[in-house]
């Protein structure tokens, strides 16, 4: 039973650890008062590797243990006041492993963003972000769709003033993760993003980023379980296309960096396609 709890915790964290979480996935700029933002993010990944703690290396999973994941995350946001955003995030997840399949909603997110430094003349912008994640995933799913814990996240998003065609971002977040049940607590997690944007034209921007998560050990009855911590680091390259003023389309590909990652199961790459609409 203890091994099963640890395994399901690892599987549920696979997709969320690939991309940065919604706590820090956007830049420091906030929408204008009474504006709406709608976002739909689609992602694909397949876990093919598992970490070998004895040999300190990644081994290939057998085909029956590889997990394919498709996700569609929808976010709706609104600004009631200057430099304030309120957002609701709802993920839809599909997982398959051998003969097992699960499809359903993940845990729901409530996100508050505050533009602490937002003036046009500021050399940098700073937005503070807070999030509350509440259990909503089906607890009876054959493959766990989310970890079903009550989590609190706090983040800071720093964005430089545009220098020529280049814009820099540094984003940091920390998660106080909750309990799966009366005895099992998911490890707290730190996440980061370092990103550079390059404006090719007014309608096209390219970007590269290094990002990662570092999650502590799972605890059962307040005892830390060995070999349950997880470090994930990755490199992403992508573009932002603006076919019309209110729409941004963001194709991207993420490649994991296994030589500085460890723990659990991992996908060598993930594909993403995001759509953002900001209503005027």
pLDDT tens for residues 189-214?
Answer: 999 999 999 999 989 999 999 999 99
Whole-model pTM above 0.85?
A: yes
Give 3-state DSSP helix, strand, coil % of the chain, rounded to 5: 10, 60, 35
Residues 227-245 have a mean pLDDT of: 95
- CA-based end-to-end distance of the chain: 52
* Cβ neighbours, 10 Å, residue 101: 13
Q: What is the pLDDT of residues 116-143, one digit of tens each?
A: 998 777 889 999 999 999 999 999 999 9
Radius of gyration of the chain (CA): 19
């Amino acid at each position: 039973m203890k091994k099963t709890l640890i395994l399901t915790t690892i599987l549920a964290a696979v997709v969320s650890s690939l991309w940065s979480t919604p706590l820090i996935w956007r830049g420091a700029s906030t929408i204008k008062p009474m504006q709406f933002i709608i976002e739909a993010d689609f992602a694909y990944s397949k876990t093919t590797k598992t970490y070998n703690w004895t040999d300190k290396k990644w081994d290939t999973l057998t085909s029956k243990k590889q997990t394919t994941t498709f996700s569609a995350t929808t976010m709706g946001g609104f600004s009631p006041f200057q430099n304030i955003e309120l957002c609701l995030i709802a993920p839809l997840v599909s997982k398959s492993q051998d003969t097992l399949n699960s499809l359903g909603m993940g845990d729901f997110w409530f996100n508050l963003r505050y533009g602490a430094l937002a003036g046009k003349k500021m050399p940098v912008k700073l937005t503070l972000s807070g999030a509350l994640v509440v259990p909503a995933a089906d607890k009876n799913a054959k493959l766990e769709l989310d970890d079903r814990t009550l989590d609190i996240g706090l983040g800071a998003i720093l964005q430089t003033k545009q220098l020529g065609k280049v814009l820099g971002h540094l984003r940091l977040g920390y998660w106080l993760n909750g309990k799966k049940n009366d005895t099992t607590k998911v490890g707290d997690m730190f996440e980061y993003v370092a990103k550079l944007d390059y404006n090719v034209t007014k309608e096209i921007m390219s970007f590269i980023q290094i990002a990662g998560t570092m999650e502590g050990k799972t605890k059962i009855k307040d005892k830390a379980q060995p070999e349950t911590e997880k470090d994930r680091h990755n490199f992403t390259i992508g573009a932002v296309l603006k076919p019309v003023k209110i729409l941004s389309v963001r194709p991207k590909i993420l490649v994991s960096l296994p030589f500085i990652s460890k723990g659990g199961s991992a996908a060598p790459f993930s594909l993403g396609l995001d759509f953002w609409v900001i209503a005027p």
